[in-house]
Amino acid sequence: MDISLAAIHTAKYVIAQVNPRVPRTHGDGLIPVSMLHAAIDVDEPVYQVLPGEISALDRKIGQNVASLVEDGATLQLGIGGIPNATLSELIHHKGLGIHTEMFSDGLLIW
């Protein structure tokens, strides 16, 4: 069971903010309306942060890391210039997976 569903099953109250501009994701992100105690409809732009410039040093490190990654690998990435540089260098890799507790800027645009 996904942690979000586990939280819903144990929560005293479940309140959802529904925004048609939020992109749909894979996994257990769909919650049946019958599990909600209340829902609030909003139609607002989704907050965005564009990644900063990748430094020359971060780019070199990213190239080195990407050269070690095989097609079909599963990645766990952090936040910052090096993960973003690495992601930018993995553009031609095939079948990569992501296992992470957070999404870095580079992963969001990858």
Residue 41's DSSP bridge partners are 18
Burial class (CB in 10 A: 0-12, 13-18, 19+), 77: buried
44 is catalytic: no
Q: Say which residue the tokens 């005293």 belong to.
A: 12
Instruction: Tally Cβ neighbours within 10 Å of residue 93.
Output: 15
Percentages of the chain per state (helix, strand, coil), in multiples of 5: 35, 10, 55
Question: What amino acid positions are annotated as catalytic residues?
Answer: 101
